[in-house]
Structure 1
Amino acid sequence: MRAVLAAPPPTLLVIAKAPVPGRAKTRLTPPFTPEQAAGLAEAALGDTLHTLSTVPAGLRLLVLDGEPGGWLPPGWRVVPQSGGGLDERLAAAFAHAARHAPGAPALLVGMDTPQVSAAVLAEPLSAARRAGVDAWYGPAADGGFWAFGLARPTPALAAQLLRGVPMSTPHTGAHLLDRLDAASLTVHQLPELTDVDTADDALRVAGEAPHSRFAARLRSAETAPEVAS
């Protein structure tokens, strides 16, 4: 019981691009315009940040490529993304977590799963459920991953696990799981979710979260003349 009470609250990380037309969710164009795709990106990011705002945490960090806007809810600290490929930027995000909250577990989520619920993360990250867990892994339907966490993050461990993993391939998740296995880490697997990459993904995710900002923005975009035609 004392160990549970003394366990530090987790750090939550979201890695994202600022929802700027022409830079965010470009695989949604076509059928959507760059402005509509950016609007969907903003809605997805807003849903993710607001959901994670309800998950108990000691620190919430938005690792952002770009500038924050009115979509940023209170309680989030913004840190810039590093340069390099996505593997290097993910590793650097965990280095931010280790520096800002030493000794705390850290879990990173992308901006592409607005359907995620607070309960999916709150229970496995609770102090009572963390015993014996070294890492958390959330598989994505496309073979990647939507969430990844480390119970004891350090810059060296994050680099060991993430740098050099080929990103945005059907085998990205398998490569990361191989790294975790090679490091003899005990992994808690989270539910599989669909990332929003394509228009079909957007329809599927909106159907899973019909009351979300993302679903409302998608309904608005679908009725626009350039999409409806």
Structure 2
Amino acid sequence: MSAPTVLIVAKAPVPGLAKTRIAQSVGDVAAAEVAAAALLDTLMTATSVGWPVVVAVTGDLDHAIRGDEITAALATARVVEQRGAGLGERLANAHADADAGRGVIQVGMDTPQLTVADYLDAGRMVELGSRVIGPAGDGGWWLLGLPDPDEAHGLIGVEMSQGDTGEQTELALGGNFVRLRSVRDMDTWDDAVEIAEHLPISQLAWAVRDIVANAAAEAGVAEAEGTEPPSPTEEEVMA
């Protein structure tokens, strides 16, 4: 088997629709900026591997933050629309759309810290006929590698974004998975800050620094004008 296909499942970083949990802490626009940066970092690394790349997208890039840059970065990939009702069905269909007979390695846009070595490790296992999963700290998974993408149909019955999603995925797809290193997903603002700190030269790090700097500047203006900055909402405190 030759090199597998890299499948990136992505959502257009449109303010108000992307990264809503992060938006609770920094607002819709800033959250979309974080999402755009993470997607650009993911695309850069994935396309550097040298394997075919398919990106399954949902949402309108024409209304997305940094939409032109993302569109340009997608020039070397094959772009397909996500299709299906629930997330499990959309993932299964994305694997089918990406299938070129060499196996599929799927990632999302929430782990911009992945390296070329992560893809190569997974690809090596898939080439040898092994199923591969990258466990995430929240109980989910950040990578799914299948020598036979048809097996992704089992994802339709898996409840996503749960504490046992990784375990249920392995069971639904027949077990016997090779597990890669555990990686932190970027679900909250704290996640974004933590990942950016360990990825200092990246689109994500620059986006996080800009958001922090802008917040500090706004706080300084409010103090100089003798006004109090808006109090955080209950959701922001709990985020």
Could you state the TM-score of these two structures normalised by the residue count of structure 2? 0.83
Amino acid at match of 1:166: E
How far the C-alpha of 1:136 sits from its partner, in A, is: 1.2
Q: What is the rounded CA distance, in whole Å, between the counterparts of 1:23 and 1:51 in structure 2?
A: 25
How far the C-alpha of 1:225 sits from its partner, in A, is: 3.0
Q: What is the rounded CA distance, in whole Å, between the counterparts of 2:195 and 2:26 in structure 1?
A: 16
C-alpha distance after superposition, 1:66-103 (max 9, x if no partner): 234322313111100013111111111111022xx1x2
1:168 is aligned to 2:169: no
How far the C-alpha of 1:208 sits from its partner, in A, is: 1.8
Match of 1:110 in 2: 108
Q: What is the rounded CA distance, in whole Å, between the counterparts of 1:106 and 1:219 in structure 2?
A: 34
Q: Is this contact kept in 2: 1:134–1:152, CA < 8 A?
A: no
Q: What is the rounded CA distance, in whole Å, between the counterparts of 2:87 and 2:200 in structure 1?
A: 30
Any residues of structure 2 matched to 1:1-229 within 5 Å, and which?
A: 7-57=1-51, 59-68=52-61, 69-70=67-68, 71-72=70-71, 73=73, 74-98=75-99, 101=100, 103-126=101-124, 129-130=125-126, 132-154=128-150, 157-159=151-153, 161-180=154-173, 183=174, 185-225=175-215, 229=219
Gap regions ≥5 residues in structure 2: 62-66, 220-239
SS of alignment partner, residue 137 of structure 1: strand
Q: What is the rounded CA distance, in whole Å, between the counterparts of 2:131 and 2:218 in structure 1?
A: 44
How far the C-alpha of 1:179 sits from its partner, in A, is: 2.1
Higher helix share: 2
Amino acid at match of 1:30: Q
How far the C-alpha of 1:11 sits from its partner, in A, is: 0.6
Q: Is this contact kept in 2: 1:14–1:110, CA < 8 A?
A: yes
How far the C-alpha of 1:228 sits from its partner, in A, is: 6.7
Q: Is this contact kept in 2: 1:106–1:149, CA < 8 A?
A: yes
Q: Is this contact kept in 1: 2:123–2:145, CA < 8 A?
A: no
Amino acid at match of 2:111: T
Larger-gyration structure (1/2): 2
Q: What is the rounded CA distance, in whole Å, between the counterparts of 1:136 and 1:117 in structure 2?
A: 16
Q: How many residues get paired?
A: 211
Q: What is the rounded CA distance, in whole Å, between the counterparts of 2:102 and 2:58 in structure 1?
A: 24
Q: What is the rounded CA distance, in whole Å, between the counterparts of 1:166 and 1:40 in structure 2?
A: 26
Q: What is the rounded CA distance, in whole Å, between the counterparts of 1:64 and 1:227 in structure 2?
A: 35
How far the C-alpha of 1:8 sits from its partner, in A, is: 2.1
**Root mean square deviation of aligned Cα:** 1.8
Amino acid at match of 2:137: A
SS of alignment partner, residue 45 of structure 2: helix
How far the C-alpha of 1:152 sits from its partner, in A, is: 1.8
Q: What is the rounded CA distance, in whole Å, between the counterparts of 1:144 and 1:227 in structure 2?
A: 37
C-alpha distance after superposition, 1:146-179 (max 9, x if no partner): 111101222xx221x2111011111111111222
Amino acid at match of 1:53: T
Q: What is the rounded CA distance, in whole Å, between the counterparts of 2:76 and 2:176 in structure 1?
A: 31
How far the C-alpha of 1:210 sits from its partner, in A, is: 1.3
C-alpha distance after superposition, 1:104-149 (max 9, x if no partner): 11011000001111111113314xx545433110111111111111
